């Protein structure tokens, strides 16, 4: 039986669909550590970085500011100290800039970016594009979502296997799954977690003093 859709085509559409979903939902989260050089305030991030979630400097959170606010609200000269803010937009492709300019050299951490290295290194948490091996969209729906995307794309190709009706069918399934998983991920990643569930509101007051009933005790003359 002749092969209608070769492996290269299937792989290309699979990666295309996964990259689109990861870019739209920002669901793949990763961390990296920067090697800081004394007197240098701009650093280049990897090409796969989509958006920065947080930056910590030896465990201290650094506040993000837009480039326009930095340009209009700060003096043009640069001071050197421990950075308290960073800029990620309008300073060049994949570049991050610290303010004030770092006044020390800090080695990049290579391990344990979620543990002990936080207090000694500069760590950036970000969303990224997939590498289709180690960093992928969540595995519990990955295969099902990408299967429908690949089928809708393959059946739309002008070839012996073209089937527009089938392509529309799988496109509808893909869009439904896409929306469902997107909403789930928004709940998992972006909404705050409730650490305590209670049917009744918590009353922030002391309980009243106990009152004994009038008939309490034994009557004596």
- Predicted confidence (pLDDT) per residue in 158-195, tens digit: 888 889 999 999 999 999 999 999 988 887 776 655 55
Residue environment code for 101-133, b if the CB has 16+ CB neighbours within 10 A, otherwise e: bbeeebeebeeebeeebbeebbbbebbbbbeee
Contacts of residue 13, Cβ cutoff 8 Å, sequence gap at least 6: 149, 150, 153, 154
pLDDT surpasses 80 at 221: no
Give how far the C-alpha of residue 119 lies from the chain's centroid of Cα atoms, to the nearest Å.
21
pLDDT surpasses 70 at 9: yes
Continuous segment of H or E residues that includes residue 149: helix 139-154
Q: Assign 195 to helix, strand or coil.
A: coil
pTM: 0.76
pLDDT surpasses 70 at 105: yes
pLDDT tier at 1 (50, 70, 90 boundaries)? very low
160: burial class by Cβ within 10 Å (0-12, 13-18, 19+)? exposed
pLDDT one-digit tens code per residue, 47-96: 999 989 999 999 999 998 877 776 666 555 567 889 999 988 666 568 89
């Amino acid at each position: 039986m002749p092969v209608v859709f070769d492996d290269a085509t299937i792989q290309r559409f699979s990666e295309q669909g996964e990259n689109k979903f990861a870019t739209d939902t920002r669901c793949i989260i990763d961390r990296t550590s920067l090697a800081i050089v004394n007197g240098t305030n701009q650093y280049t991030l990897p090409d796969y970085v989509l958006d920065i979630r947080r930056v910590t400097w030896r465990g201290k959170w650094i506040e993000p500011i837009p480039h326009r606010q930095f340009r209009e609200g700060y003096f043009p000269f640069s001071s050197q100290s421990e950075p308290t803010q960073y800029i990620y937009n309008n300073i060049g492709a994949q570049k991050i800039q610290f303010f004030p300019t770092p006044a020390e050299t800090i080695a990049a951490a290579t391990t344990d970016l979620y543990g002990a290295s936080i207090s000694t290194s500069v760590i950036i948490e970000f969303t990224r594009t997939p590498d289709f091996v180690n960093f992928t969209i969540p595995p519990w729906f990955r295969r099902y979502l990408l299967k429908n995307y690949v089928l809708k794309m393959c059946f739309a190709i002008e070839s012996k296997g073209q089937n527009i009706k089938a392509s529309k069918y799988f496109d509808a399934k893909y869009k439904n799954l896409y929306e469902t998983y997107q909403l789930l991920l928004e709940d998992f990643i972006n909404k705050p977690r409730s650490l305590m569930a209670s049917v009744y509101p918590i009353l922030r007051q002391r309980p009243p003093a106990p009152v004994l009933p009038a008939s309490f005790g034994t009557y004596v003359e």
